[in-house]
């Protein structure tokens, strides 16, 4: 097996333990995993069940999610992100209650909360309870600054997930956001770690590696492609040149403001929340 000389930690982005197992066989390691409601709804067992026209009760759906996460925890010992249910109306208190349950599922659970007003409020409370966090659906530098400020003093490292592919989808250079957050966090105390997410292709992965992004979550199909290319690594001449994507400029944003004062609205966060809700609910009997 090829020894990979990289500083980034590689996570699997998925909801199927079989993929985690195969990724570990290919790489020789997997440092962590990220899941979300969409990925769980795409698990082959869920798909088969849905094709038979059998949906889950809400309780069964949570049980299934828990089983998947427990299965993954048998394969890897690193952080496994588990996402709370959050729709437009979910209050911080409800997210915290769910986070406290989910964190008991496995010893290495890391709770995903959305970067919304209520999600940040929940994050601010969660760090006081030592709940490991992955702040998800990040689409702007200002959101990343708010996460930093809201989780200051956290004893566990906090992860933040900029969703690269979804910015690319609408013609913006998502990898610029990763670069910008990494640069902004250089002025901080290091308690928030950037986790490049919504990776769609090998170029995203290679550029994130060249930036030494601390964490990168990668779908199995991209890990497979990487393996087929003999785990190619970016050299000093690596040049990330996305076609026709508008650059996202760096902004000077202070990390020291009151976390409630940042402008955290981003349309893609709202759309992302809606999609997670729809995918989760598609599994559940009405
Ligand atoms: O890690 C987040 C990821 O699962 C979202 O990916 O491809 O749905 O934007 P995508």
Task: Provide the residue ranges of all domains of the chain, joining segments of one domain with +.
Answer: 15-281
Ligand 1, closest atom to CA 34?
1
Question: Mutate which of 163, 167, 205, 221 to test ligand 1's pocket (most atoms within 8 Å of Cβ)?
Answer: 163
Which residue in the block uniquely carries the two structure tokens 């999610």? Answer: 65
Binding site membership of 168 for ligand 1 (Cβ less than 6 Å): no
Ligand 1, closest atom to CA 198?
6
Residues 35-56 pLDDT 10s: 999 999 999 999 999 999 999 9
- Across the range 185-190, mean pLDDT stands at 97
Q: Which CATH superfamily is domain 15-281 in?
A: Aldolase class I (3.20.20.70)
Residues 80-139 pLDDT 10s: 999 999 999 999 999 999 999 999 999 999 999 999 999 999 999 999 999 999 999 999
Confidence tier at 186 by pLDDT (50, 70, 90): very high
Q: Which residues contact 98 (CB under 8 A, 6 or more apart)?
A: 84, 85
Residues 55-66 pLDDT 10s: 999 999 999 999
Which pLDDT value is given to residue 286? 84
Q: Is the pTM above the cut of 0.95?
A: yes
- Across the range 271-281, mean pLDDT stands at 98
Atom 9 (ligand 1): residue with closest C-alpha?
198
Catalytic residues: 112
Binding site membership of 163 for ligand 1 (Cβ less than 6 Å): yes
Binding site membership of 165 for ligand 1 (Cβ less than 6 Å): yes
Question: Mutate which of 165, 167, 218 to test ligand 1's pocket (most atoms within 8 Å of Cβ)?
Answer: 165
279 has pLDDT over 90: yes
244 has pLDDT over 80: yes
Atom 5 (ligand 1): residue with closest C-alpha?
198
Mean pLDDT taken over the chain: 97
Binding site membership of 36 for ligand 1 (Cβ less than 6 Å): yes
2 has pLDDT over 80: no
Report the separation in Å between the CA atom of 40 and the middle of ligand 1, taken as the mean of its atom positions. Answer: 12
Residues 129-167 pLDDT 10s: 999 999 999 999 999 999 999 999 999 989 999 999 999
Which pLDDT value is given to residue 69? 98
CA-nearest of 231, 234, 204, 228 to 218 is 204
The Cα 82–Cα 74 span in angstroms is: 15
262-265 long-range Cβ contacts below 8 angstroms, 24+ apart:
262/142, 262/143, 262/145, 262/146, 262/149, 263/142, 264/115, 264/116, 264/117, 264/120, 264/140, 264/142, 264/143, 264/146
1 has pLDDT over 80: no
245 has pLDDT over 80: yes
The Cα 218–Cα 259 span in angstroms is: 30
């Amino acid at each position: 097996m090829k020894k990979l000389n990289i500083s980034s930690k590689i996570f699997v982005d998925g909801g199927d333990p079989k993929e985690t197992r195969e990724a570990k066989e290919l790489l020789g390691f997997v440092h962590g995993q990220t899941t979300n409601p969409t990925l769980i709804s795409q698990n082959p067992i869920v798909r088969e069940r849905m094709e038979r026209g059998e949906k889950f009760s809400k309780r069964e759906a949570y049980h299934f999610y828990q089983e998947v996460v427990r299965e993954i925890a048998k394969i890897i010992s690193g952080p496994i992100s588990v996402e709370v249910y959050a729709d437009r109306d979910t209050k911080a208190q409800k997210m915290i209650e769910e986070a406290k349950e989910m964190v008991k599922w496995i010893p290495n659970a890391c709770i995903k909360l959305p970067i919304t007003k209520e999600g940040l409020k929940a994050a601010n409370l969660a760090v006081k309870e030592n709940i490991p966090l992955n702040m998800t659906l990040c689409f702007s530098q200002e959101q990343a600054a708010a996460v930093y400020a809201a989780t200051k003093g956290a004893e566990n490292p906090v992860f933040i997930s900029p969703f690269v592919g979804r910015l690319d989808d609408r013609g913006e250079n998502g990898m610029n956001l990763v670069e910008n957050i990494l640069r902004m966090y250089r002025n901080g105390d290091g308690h928030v770690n950037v986790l490049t997410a919504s990776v769609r292709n090998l170029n995203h992965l290679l550029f994130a590696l060249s930036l030494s992004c601390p964490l990168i979550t990668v779908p199995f199909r991209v890990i497979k492609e990487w393996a087929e290319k003999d785990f190619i690594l970016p050299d000093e001449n690596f040049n990330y040149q996305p076609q026709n994507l508008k650059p996202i400029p760096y902004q000077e944003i202070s990390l020291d403001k009151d976390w409630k004062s940042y402008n955290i609205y981003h349309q893609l966060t709202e759309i992302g929340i809606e999609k997670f809700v729809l995918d989760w609910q598609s599994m559940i009997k009405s």
